[in-house]
Amino acid sequence: MYVAIWNKYLPIIRILLKRAVTAEQMLDLNRIDFERAGSGRKAGYKFVIEFNKGRVSNIISGIPLAADLAQVLMEDSAAKAILTANNFSIGLNTKFKVTIICTSPGEVVLEEKDVEVTDSI
């Protein structure tokens, strides 16, 4: 039901996923898009999706909005590569703000290891 809307936001979500490795990212969505596609204002749009090694690690099957976002992200090869490299928490609040947090910044850890190797040579 929400796949078309999430596809609209996919390019910017991809960019924010990359940036989230170093800092928390936020995106304001257009509330009207979701209200037109859903059952109206009373739907109570709010969720958190936990991605662990490229897989959804919490139960979102009862939340169509979250399930459709997870589907769109997993079907996009660039987004899936980012999600596989790091663990993320993607949440939507009732004010239609998406928050993307990297819960295990793999790239930052790799950079620190590279510095240690360089220093020992």
pLDDT value at residue 42: 53
pLDDT value at residue 105: 52
Q: How far apart (Å, rounded) are the C-alpha atoms in residues 13 and 111?
A: 24
pLDDT value at residue 111: 39
pLDDT value at residue 118: 42
Which residue has 């790799």 as its token pair?
Answer: 110
Residue 66: CB partners within 8 Å, gap ≥ 6? Answer: 47, 48, 49, 60, 92
Q: How far apart (Å, rounded) are the C-alpha atoms in residues 20 and 105?
A: 8
Evaluate whether 60 touches 47 at the Cβ level (below 8 Å): yes
Q: Which helix (H) or strand (E) holds 95?
A: none
Sequence letter at residue 118: T
> pTM for the complete prediction?
0.80
Size of the chain in residues: 121
Bridge partners, 102 (sequence order): 88
pLDDT value at residue 39: 56
Q: How far apart (Å, rounded) are the C-alpha atoms in residues 113 and 104?
A: 15
Digits of tens for pLDDT over the chain (121 positions)? Answer: 899 999 999 999 999 999 999 999 999 999 888 888 865 555 567 899 999 999 999 988 888 899 999 999 999 999 999 999 999 999 999 899 999 999 985 444 433 344 444 444 4
pLDDT value at residue 36: 84
Q: How far apart (Å, rounded) are the C-alpha atoms in residues 77 and 82?
A: 9
